[in-house]
Amino acid sequence: MLLFVGLGNPTPDSKNNRHNIGFKVIDSINQKYGLSKQKPKFKGLLTTGNIENKKIYAIKPLTFMNNSGICIRELLEYFKINAEDVIVFHDDLDVDFGKIKTKFGGSSAGHNGIASIDKFIGKDYSRVRIGIGRPDLKISVSDYVLKDFEPEEKDEIEKVTKNIIESISILVDKKLELFSSTVNNK
């Protein structure tokens, strides 16, 4: 049993923000693998199904990015899922645009959504860090992450999302290094 978490903000005007790339990945997983219809549960939108013969729960927290951990903890407690079986998809300023890095545990590196999850469930879970690059000096980090992808960036984001979905069986087996290598080399 695994829990996929996509980080983002639930407002309609946030849909295409850089900060919402985690929501986009969860939506793509739901569509590609025919997970159940999204239902509001545990302060998020929950879907369930099977991928590679493994039970999958996928959630998009509706608590806003900075309180994502509240939603995750409730779900883990209810379904008796271990933190080690959680995989979080989120944006990352410190990863080159359109690339991904994976890791198990570690610091939040200033990402408020990850800091919230760390606070509520600890740090022993997997992360798929999707690169959104750094802003130039003319824009603050908070404005940058809440800004929509530029038209010229959308194709690259679609490509990385598609590569994540096509390689999901590797991630289901928790082969993090192989997963990031496969996605980045497609």
| Mean pLDDT confidence for 81-88 | 98
Q: For the segment 94-151, what is each residue's pLDDT rounded down to a tens digit? A: 999 999 999 999 999 999 999 999 999 999 999 999 999 998 878 999 999 999 999 9
Among residues 18, 19, 90, 111, which one is catalytic?
19
What is the distance between the terminal CA atoms of the chain, rounded to a whole angstrom? 28
Give residue 137's pLDDT.
Answer: 78
Active site residue 90: no
Helix ranges (DSSP H) in the chain: 21-33, 68-79, 112-121, 141-145, 151-166, 168-172, 176-184
Q: For the segment 55-74, what is each residue's pLDDT rounded down to a tens digit? A: 999 999 999 999 999 999 99
The CATH number assigned to the domain holding 16 equals 3.40.50.1470
Instruction: Print the domain residue range for 22.
Output: 2-184
Helix, strand or coil for residue 48?
strand
| Mean pLDDT confidence for 7-13 | 95
Q: For the segment 23-49, what is each residue's pLDDT rounded down to a tens digit? A: 999 999 999 999 999 999 999 999 999
Share of the chain above pLDDT 70, in %: 100
- CA separation for the pair 47, 36 (Å, rounded): 5
- Domain tally, the chain: 1
- CA separation for the pair 90, 64 (Å, rounded): 13
- Kindly tell me the burial class for residue 14, based on how many C-beta atoms sit within 10 Å of its own C-beta (0-12, 13-18, 19 or more): middle
Q: What is the pTM of this model?
A: 0.96
> Where does the pLDDT of residue 175 fall: very low under 50, low under 70, confident under 90, or very high at 90 and above?
very high
